Amino acid sequence: MHLLIKLLFLLVIPTLLAGGCTAFNTYPQSARAGDTITLAVGSPDDMTRTNTTATFTSEADPLNPIDLTSNIRAVFKLYADKASPVYEDYVIKEIVRRSGHAPWVTMVMIDLPPSLPEGLARIELNTPASYPASGSHINDLSTTSQRIVDDGLIDPPIALEILPGSGAPADFPLEIAHGGLFIGDLTLLEPQLHAQISPPFEEGNPLGWPKYGAVELTLTLDTDTPLSDTLYRLVPDDMSIATNSQYSLVSTLDGDELTVIFLSPKGVLQYFEPRFAVVLDSDVHFSTVTEPVSLSSVRYYDMDGNPLTGPSVFDYLVEIR
């Protein structure tokens, strides 16, 4: 993707999502010390406040970078309206085909320190989160690690200009009902502790897995409170915009055993689509004594219910995030 197109994607958030692009400027592009800024950092998987660092480097004082890690206010995913024309764009489909997860843009909100050198500067982020092969990794956007992209242009750092004067962190006030005002807590947009179930993914399906009518997964959940249907929810990664599987999701709970079934009425469910999270009610917690989540079986079927081959249960990633 040409640099000019990448920069144009930064003009509006929906277009950002369509491109899955990594930020080359903050929003706003100019701010005062103390203000809140936003970065749209592409479509990484498992980027959080706890695994991300941020550094501010002024062009006026490049040898003395300032650590902003403790100033990261929130890291959360942004999804476009599925009724928007963004979902017609082939680029958003490429995010799915190259990453094996739903199309999102991750937003990083940072409260700038109250004292910063004025003038041009750059923000550098570092995270072990994985990025789709089609886009720049946020770790690469710094003047010390510029790389030449396919079209011969050089990826720039994340630019920011510090203006004179003093700013203040944004309160994000919200109204509840009529006149009920409170300060918005951006961390509420971040995911709760959850179990992430991810099938293996290799771009282009090199093993040639067939398409499925259904995939059935059986999990065992060890929690400190007996589960019921009201104490958990399933959050699937919806990739059907790129796969056209039009799947539905059903589940049954029997004690601590959870069965999750992905059903495609067209019989075109891709091998990497049974990706989902199990999110517990905030009063319920995964066990810290035994293995909190285990995947015991994965079964694959065609539209007529006949068994098919698919990735092994041992190839799935099961982790608490």
Q: Helix or strand or coil: residue 315?
A: helix
What pLDDT is recorded for position 176?
Answer: 75
76 compared with 158, residue with greater pLDDT: 76
What average pLDDT does range 3-23 have in this prediction? 42
Percentage of residues in the chain having pLDDT higher than 90: 67
Summarised one tens digit per residue, pLDDT across range 63-72 is 999 999 999 9
pLDDT band at 123 (very low <50, low <70, confident <90, very high): very high
Q: Is the pLDDT of residue 143 over 70?
A: no
Contacts of 235 (CB under 8 A, 6+ apart): 194, 276, 277, 278, 279
Percentage of residues in the chain having pLDDT higher than 70: 87
3-state secondary structure 141-195: CCCCCCCECCCCCECCCEEEEEEEEECCCCCCEEEECCCEEEECCHHHHCCCCEE
pLDDT band at 6 (very low <50, low <70, confident <90, very high): very low
What pLDDT is recorded for position 151?
Answer: 52
What pLDDT is recorded for position 134?
Answer: 64
What average pLDDT does range 77-81 have in this prediction? 91
pLDDT band at 11 (very low <50, low <70, confident <90, very high): very low
CA gap 272, 100 in Å, rounded: 6
Token pair listed for 287: 């066990």
What average pLDDT does range 81-88 have in this prediction? 86
CA gap 268, 211 in Å, rounded: 5
How long a stretch of residues is the chain? 321
Which one-letter amino acid corresponds to residue 154? I
Among residues 261, 196, 259, 253, the alpha carbon closest in space to that of 226 is found at 253
Gap between the terminal Cα atoms of the chain: 32
pLDDT band at 92 (very low <50, low <70, confident <90, very high): confident
Return the minimum-mean-pLDDT range out of 9-18, 96-105, 186-195. Answer: 9-18
What pLDDT is recorded for position 119?
Answer: 96
Q: Is the pLDDT of residue 7 over 90?
A: no
Q: How many CB atoms lie within 10 A of CB 92?
A: 21
User: Is the domain defined by 192-320 classed in CATH 2.60.40?
Assistant: yes
What average pLDDT does range 22-39 have in this prediction? 86
CA gap 102, 18 in Å, rounded: 12
Ramachandran angles phi, psi of 88, nearest 5°: -90, -15
Return the minimum-mean-pLDDT range out of 95-104, 247-256, 305-314. Answer: 95-104
What average pLDDT does range 294-304 have in this prediction? 97
Mean residue pLDDT of the chain comes to: 87
Q: How many CB atoms lie within 10 A of CB 261?
A: 18
CA gap 271, 206 in Å, rounded: 12
Most confident of 49-63, 75-89, 91-105: 49-63
CA gap 231, 192 in Å, rounded: 13
Q: Tell me what percent of the chain is helix, strand and coil, each rounded to the nearest 5.
A: 15, 40, 50
Which one-letter amino acid corresponds to residue 129? A
Q: How many CB atoms lie within 10 A of CB 177?
A: 5
What average pLDDT does range 92-111 have in this prediction? 92
Token pair listed for 119: 């003038």
